[in-house]
Chain A
Amino acid sequence: MKNRLTNIIILFVLLLAGGTTMAQDSVITIRDSRGADSALETAPLLTLPRRLSTASISVVGGDDLYKTPTTNTANTLIGRLPGLYAKQSTDEPLGVPAMVSATNMTIRGLGSYGFVGNNAFNTFRVYVDGWESTLNYFTTIPAEDIESVSILKDAAALAVFGMKGDNGVLWVTTKKGHAGRPRVQVGARAGVQQVLNVDKPLGSYDYARLYNEAVSNDNGDTWTPAYSTAQLQAYKNGTGTNVDWYDQGLKHSAFYNNDNVSFSGGNNSAKYYLNLDYLDQQGLFNIRNTDSTSNEKLQRYNLTSNLDLDISKIFSANISLRGMVENQKTPNYNTSTLWNNMAAYPSNIYPVMQDSGKWSGTALYPNNPIASQNALGWTSTQYRILQGNFTLKEKLDVLLPGLYASESYSFYSYASTTYSKTANYARYFDSAVRTTDQAIPLKAQPQTPAGQEDLKQARLTVGYDHSWNTSRLSTAVDYYGSNYLGDGFLYYATTYQNLSGRINYAWLDKYIGELGFSYFGSDAYAPGHRWGFYPALSAAWIVSKERFLADNKTIDLLKLRLSAGKSGGMNDNVTQSGRYLFQQYYQTSALSGGNFYMNNPPTAGSILAPLYTANPDVFAEKSMKYNIGVDLGLLHKLDLSLDAFLDKRSSILTQDHSIPDYYGYNLEYNNVGKVTNKGFELMGTWTDKIGGFSYSLNGMLSYSRNKIDYMAETPPPYSYNALTGRPIGTPIGLIALGYYQLNDFNADGSLKQGEPVPQFGAVQPGDIKYKDLNGDGKIDGTDVTSIGRSPFPTWVYSLGGTLGYKGFDLSAFFDGALGGDVNLLSAAPIQTESLVNNGNAFAMAKNAWAYYPQEGIDTRATATYPRLSTTANTNNYQYSTYWMKSTDFLRLHNLELGYTTCLKRGATSTVRFYVNAINLATWSTLLKHDQLDPETLGGYPAVKSYNAGITLSF
């Protein structure tokens, strides 16, 4: 592996040395936020110059996304779009369906609490080239195929999306051919990936030392060590068993490679863009690829083609086709469990192998991580996607100048199959077999289907563009239908129809007004309740075109934008409730989940009971969105853009806990929830030149904060227990007051009079003390309240800069988030609950509360962790402020150095060499104090990578 890297570096240096330098302007392209006349608004239906747009839209170009080499294109969006919160997710080489967890990305924070999760109601929709798609599909599009990615944020931008618009839209445009001579672009890049962060458990010595404390604590604070001094000494001097599972199970670095070749060109009657992309990512595990073992790895082939044909004066057509084949391979053991086992198995339990050469394993620790990687065989999964879009467009100037129509059809098909070779091994310890597992040699398993999906969409558009005198009018209406067929589960079929339109009118090229609307029908609602109307009104004023600013030297652009409108949110997949909430269903179990037995011997009788009470009026969630924006250009160097928004949600589909229990039914879903979300986004770019240096700085800042106004929650005993009135995801728990000290207890070990008594088990010195909020002398579930901030950060920011000199370019990009908290007990339980239930010990627990003066142990004053215990110490591991930690961070996300030169003097053929590093450095208190990465706390982590690449254009 290291050799491979060395070779690449040598090759790179040689090429660099051999290239002929040529003087040339910097190739750095700065994206123009005010929009030159050629820049188009990235929004549906109309083809408008961006200056005439009234909407709030953020855009990033594909070339910026290409800077992050990854198999997961969603990870390239981090920090690039103001208003988009994108959390770094795992870089595990997984296949299509598992790529992105929906809650990892949101537009303008959270506007609704409804159905967060995989069947998320609360996620934005993704459209690729105007067709609805999914985030998972997006993750597989090669970055070089992407022209731009936008997020549509306000009512003006979302007007035509109807019930798909309430959480915003990710609008992706892929590359097309341009008339001109054929151009070929070859890109090749390779790199090494390393674990971004891993919280390694303590070695055997520290583990045993802390275990002695824990056992003694459990034995009534009497020193009763489980490990003798001799054993401790053996761990210390290296003669005892001390396995670093991460060290054994992981490679120092894993290989990544991505190559592509694209062809584009054409003439006035036909234009083409073709791209072939190959991607190979090896996993971080230390497994050899053989017939019986396989590292986790992913290989992906993408073939894209886009054809524009001018058939006649009237007819033109576009055909785009994309095929993707993905082969994913993984050892036959759940990789997130494997990752957990490497953390959870103490270092001293057994060596990897017994002296006999057999795999170690015990009943308590049966899944030796190294054996899990190497002795169970592998599973291979193939994913195949075919996406085809066809458009026929007619210019109908013969009927009316400016009139046009188009008809389009899109299909998407996905299928996957798996194939595996399985084996098993016997677990040995002290030359005896310890579990019921038996050694089974490698055996091939038959291929099995692993899911399929089918999505068909069609649209029919009629538009009219006309300019006269000082006016300019752009309008279009669109009929759209969508039909989805899935795996045959609840999500088996969904259809919807949308009749939408936009009317954009500009006067004097400075006063712009727009009306957008959608009349949207969904099959999720009862006949008669299926259709909703969603209008939006917006306006823009380009102040800088007014006479009083026209000659201003400082202000070269000032544009004000204002929008208000309504969007909807369609619940197209409520897994728990049956497909249609308006339909009464009956379930084959009772509401309380029990059974009824008859006969002798007793036999369970069949049962039917109403599932949820049908709600015939059920309808889409409503969102009223208001936005005000300012775009400012100064000195032809600084671009600023500020947007402030208010999003009032209502009719959020909510299981209604405001119904008394004597109702006796499974509580129904009603459109009753309300949430207010507000915030702003600021972005700025400074571009300038000093002598031979060109440079630019850019930054963005997004803020959003929400509040649940109503959610029909079961009225809690005390108002401070409630979720209502707090931001979505607010953690509820106890307030920790520090540790119990020796003087809190009577001689018999009971708490002194006046100390509130925790109801979670006996407490002793060093346990966490909580606040008795209701003052009843007990610490229990009624003393809970907000214990921190929601895990969704309120602030997201990024900062970047580029520097160009001659052919060289250097860029750095930082991103971060502020205002979120994580509950360690739920996000990283293994790393947090040291020693509990045969668990491992981590650095976090190294300075636990302990008081054994005879042993020279006294951390009473300095403890940073409650007293250790080997049993489930429920008192200490209650959700409380103690375990809440800030996830604020700053990351050096991208650092890149490039050099561009011509292949032949004077020719248009260029070559660019570059090296870059991803996730090079992170600043975070969580990382510093608790050894946990603020974005990926558990499971397969994100990676830090070092890459080198060449881009050749001719």
Chain B
Amino acid sequence: MRTKLLFTITAFASVLSGCSKFSLNTKVDTYETPATIATDRATLFSFANAFYVDIPNGFTELDSNFFDAASDDGQQTAKYSTNAQLFNEGALNPSNIDIPAGEGFYKNMYDGIQAANFFLGYSQNAAAFLIQNRDTVDDVVNYTRDKLFIGWYRGEAHIARAFYYAELIRRYGGVAIVDSTLQHTDSMYIHRSSYDQVVSYIVSEIDKYADSLQVNWATSGYSDQLGRFTKGAALALKARVLLEAASPLHNAGNDLTKWQAAAAAANDVISMNLYALDASYAHYFTGNNATTSPETIFAKYMPASNQQEETNYPIETPGGHSGVTPTQNLVDQYEYIAAADPDNPYANRDPRLAATVVVNGSTWNGRTIDESPGGTDDMAKANTSRTGYYLRKFLTDNLNLTQGGTAAHQWIIFRYAEILLNYAEAMNEAYGPDANNNYTLTARQALQMVRDRASTALPPITATSQGDFRLAIQHERRVELAFENFRYWDLLRWQQAQSVLSAPVQGVAVTKNANGTTFSYQVTNVSTRVFPAAMYYFPFYQGEITNSKGALQQNPGY
């Protein structure tokens, strides 16, 4: 009896406890795991794409629009709830920097840096990866290509990381250099490096890895890789970073060797003899033109959209929102190429004006813009431009927004004209306007190339002194690079922000003359601007300071 009973119970017990149903080793993975990616070499390429995602899109940087609304070139039309106000009113502080253009941007840059660090770690044994599950003899073509790709991609990861740091130091000054993937331990609290330390880090990375990059995707046989970094992009980055580092904001003692290094770096790009100015300034910025133009060194490629048109078309165009508009301050910079027309202040101007700005009386979106009282775009109407101007650069004309019409847009990050202007500026500071230091160009020649492409009718540059020539270059940068997110940062690095960004921005009031065909224009102040000295650098977000547990020190003045 007892035996029988014990037997029965033991049997039950063993059935229950032995039941594999209740094993805790369940496996339910709906995402890729280390095991699945370790056996799939395609994952290498996906990780190599990931570190590009955070390359900033200048079309949407501030209030989902151009960052130039922060500068004296642009004015945000919306009066409330805009982040541009924080810049215009000089109100940035550690608690309100929590905006996409501030803390959001900072976080994105570090996400990009992490993605690059991750790829560099992950692809260390790429060679073993690439022969996995593959017959290297039968599949030799693809195998060879994959090996080449990984070589380039590893170089690109270094450049991407350098690029992200360049964007960070421009805003914050020195930041924490994270050069490998972090573990969540006490050692992750990395201290801020100085601005110069980060600059040397960027330069050393470029010097080490620029030569491992593809030179020209278009002619490499792998044109489907267009949009990735190239050697030219790496050198252009170096030229830009060194120019900023040599500028007064970061070069208090005006150390000429810094200018010389910047000039040499720009010359390295020029002497690649790979890039040239596009034939047409007016066409270069719209559609897919930038992807094929010899002027483009690096651009962020994007699918067709109407986001830019929707935000910046005049409010009276169905679907438009007026968005960021050019100011009178900018319009004044465009030179006359012939005698001024007393009836039309916009006639006979540098053609880049018409390519950049929609002025009263010009044709835009299928109509003649009439901003006078009673006109189609009467400035008294709600949400019309506050400056009397609308943006034209980058926008495709006549998209039907209400029916969802789209156009191609590429955000150009490095182009040859900028390199020429960087070169001119650095050469002028290092050697004066007319010395070539055994390079191919003088500062004056480089500047003239940019001006000639715009119009050969532009008045000649007569400045001979270094100081006068500096002004000519600063003027040219403003006109040539308008709305490409240079102006605000140029004013900072030239230390002109406090004077220029504290003056009101201006626009025009338009009235129709009694003759019914001509207009008169009254310059008006559109909004006051304030720029406190502290804002030469962004404040770190207070939460970031707190979370860094003392590793980050707040910038002075906040």
Interface set of A (CB-CB < 8 Å, partner B):
314, 392, 394, 396, 398-399, 405, 407, 409, 456, 458-460, 479, 481-483, 489-490, 492-497, 521-523, 527, 530, 578-580, 583-588, 590-592, 594-611, 613, 656-665, 668, 714-718, 759-762, 774, 776, 778, 780, 782, 874
Contact = CB atoms under 8 A, between A and B. Distances in A.
B187 to A, nearest CB: 12
A782 B21 contact: no
A761 B106 contact: no
A664 B110 contact: yes
Given A456-B21, A598-B227, A668-B184, A607 B28 contact: no
Contacts of B292: 600
B31 A585 contact: yes
B5 A482 contact: no
B37 interface: yes
5 contacts: A314-B5, A495-B26, A527-B25, A611-B31, A717-B542
B46 A481 contact: no
B227 A662 contact: no
Contacts of B25: 523, 527
B188 A490 contact: no
Interface in B201-232: 223-228
A398 B110 contact: no
Nearest to A462: B9
Interface stretch (B111-119, B454-462, B464-472, B489-497): B111-119
A732 to B, nearest CB: 15
Given A489-B30, A664-B110, A715-B543, 5 more contacts: A495-B24, A597-B227, A605-B49, A608-B47, A660-B548
B224 A715 contact: no
Contact of A493 (B8, B26, B43, B81): B26
Contacts of A602: 227, 291, 301-303, 408, 410
A-B pairs with lowest CB-CB distance, top 8: A664-B114, A717-B95, A481-B22, A585-B31, A608-B46, A590-B53, A715-B546, A605-B49
A458 B548 CA distance: 50
A463 B402 CA distance: 76
Given A599-B224, A662-B178, A664-B110, A606 B12 contact: no
B547 interface: yes
Interface string B119-162: 00000000000000000000000000000000000000000000
Nearest to B24: A523
A609 B115 contact: yes
Contacts of B303: 597, 601-602, 604
A530 B228 contact: no
A782 B54 contact: no
A579 B29 contact: yes
Contacts of B304: 601
A183 to B, nearest CB: 34
Contacts of B114: 591, 663-665
Interface of B: 1-2, 5, 8-9, 12-13, 16-17, 19, 21-26, 28-34, 37, 42-43, 45-47, 49-50, 52-54, 57, 79-81, 85, 91, 94-96, 98, 103, 106-108, 110-111, 113-115, 117-118, 175-176, 178, 181-182, 184, 188-190, 223-228, 288, 291-292, 300-304, 408, 410, 541-544, 546-548, 551-552
Given A483-B22, A600-B292, A608-B43, A578 B30 contact: yes
A583 B33 contact: yes
Most chain A CB inside 10 Å of its own CB: which residue of B91, B184, B190: B184
Contacts of A601: 288, 303-304, 408
A598 B21 contact: no
Nearest to A762: B80
Nearest to A486: B28
Contacts of B408: 601-602
Nearest to B78: A761
Nearest to B36: A586
Contacts of B176: 662
Nearest to B46: A608
A717 B31 contact: no
A497 B111 contact: no
A654 B548 CA distance: 19
A495 B546 contact: no
A759 B111 contact: no
Contacts of A494: 26
Contact of B29 (A481, A585, A597): A585
B547 A715 contact: yes
A590 B115 contact: yes
B178 A664 contact: yes
Nearest to A484: B26
B47 A613 contact: no
Contact of A663 (B94, B98, B118, B188): B188
Contacts of A591: 111, 114-115
B226 A599 contact: yes
Contacts of B23: 495, 523
B302 A597 contact: yes
B80 A661 contact: no
A660 B189 contact: yes
A780 B32 contact: no
B16 A606 contact: no
A663 B226 contact: no
A592 B224 contact: no
Nearest to A584: B34
Contacts of B81: 759-761, 874
Given A398-B1, A608-B32, A594 B53 contact: yes
A585 B81 CA distance: 38
A583 B302 contact: no
Contacts of A596: 49-50, 52-53, 227
Contacts of A762: 79-80
B111 A598 contact: no
Contacts of B184: 613, 656, 659, 663, 668
Contacts of A407: 9, 12-13, 16
A136 to B, nearest CB: 22
Contact of B50 (A600, A607, A660): A607
B121 to A, nearest CB: 11
Contacts of B178: 662, 664
Contacts of A588: 32, 46
A482 B22 contact: yes
A659 B33 contact: no
Contact of A660 (B9, B28, B302, B547): B547
Nearest to B97: A717
Nearest to A604: B303
A460 B16 contact: yes
B33 A661 contact: no
Contacts of B21: 456, 481, 483, 495
Given A606-B49, A780-B96, A600 B291 contact: yes
Contacts of A662: 110, 113, 175-176, 178, 182, 190, 544, 548
A495 B548 CA distance: 39
A459 B16 CA distance: 7
A459 B111 CA distance: 49
Given A530-B24, A663-B114, A595 B95 contact: no
Contacts of A599: 223-227, 301
A579 B30 contact: yes
A597 B301 contact: yes
Given A780-B96, A782-B96, A661 B32 contact: no
Contacts of B95: 717-718, 774, 782
B547 A659 contact: yes
A239 to B, nearest CB: 36
A405 B6 CA distance: 11
Most chain A CB inside 10 Å of its own CB: which residue of B34, B228, B410: B34
A408 to B, nearest CB: 9
A535 B542 CA distance: 43
Given A481-B16, A594-B53, A664 B106 contact: no
A668 B50 CA distance: 19
A762 B382 CA distance: 12
A656 B547 CA distance: 11
